[in-house]
Amino acid sequence: MGQLQNKVALITGGSRGIGKAMALALGAEGASVAFTYKSASSAADDVVRALQAAGQKAAAYQSDARKLAEATNVVERVVKEFGRIDILVNNAGITRDTLLMRMSEEDWDEVLATNLKSAFNFSKAVCRQMMGQREGKIINITSIAGVVGNAGQANYSSAKAGLIGLTKTLAKELASRNIQVNAVAPGFVDTEMTEKLTPAQKEAILGLVPMKRMAKPEEIASTVVFLASPAASYITGQVICVDGGLVM
């Protein structure tokens, strides 16, 4: 029996990378898992099959997380098919990195909409359901870039910093209804996003990390499992950096 038996989790952007690792980790603890994806339907199908093979109820929903109407529709479908939503993980995210002087308005708007507005959309869509249940967990995947900034990522850092503000505000708004809201701030994680880095860039990054390695997606996922579990029932409004000591 896992610590999330009979719980239902909804993850945005769950078909690959950290999202996939979180889906599998929450499922391994007994949760039923619903997740959204934007376009990677075959990858999403693979995650659903893996969860079902492990004995968990699972479903994937194609959705544009930037749009409130689509977020609301997904939440309604999940509640209808799974009966409730106990855990929301706002994970949908993209990068469009370049220096501010070269950044297009589209690059700014796209990243803010995908990384920050999506969390507003899904949090707004689930909070009434969670308030009715008198319990829930909302976990926002931010980044150390939102804590300390990062050159070449004005859009991404701003969105991730905004997520931290949203986390603390929602934690205050929902605390009396027994809903905990926290954020996880990964450092550099070995995913498709970091595969694009050159060997020289990777070496420079690892030079900054006291533990001298990148995180595995599973190391981010295990922190999310902890925050989603009864063990974290008195933790709210916090930002946990999972970064090998990069920000301390």
Q: Beta-carbon neighbour count of residue 9 at 10 Å?
A: 31
Identify the CA nearest to 141 among candidates 60, 241, 226.
241
Single out the catalytic residue among 37, 61, 156, 234: 156
Round to whole Å and give the CA distance between 85 and 80.
10
Q: Tell me, yes or no, if 156 is annotated catalytic.
A: yes
Which tokens sit at 126? 């689930």
Sequence-ordered alpha helix ranges (H) in the chain: 17-28, 41-53, 68-82, 105-112, 118-133, 145-148, 154-174, 192-195, 199-208, 217-228
Q: Beta-carbon neighbour count of residue 245 at 10 Å?
A: 12
Is the distance from CB of 135 to CB of 233 less than 8 angstroms? no
Residue 96 φ then ψ, to 5°? -140, 75
List the catalytic residues: 156
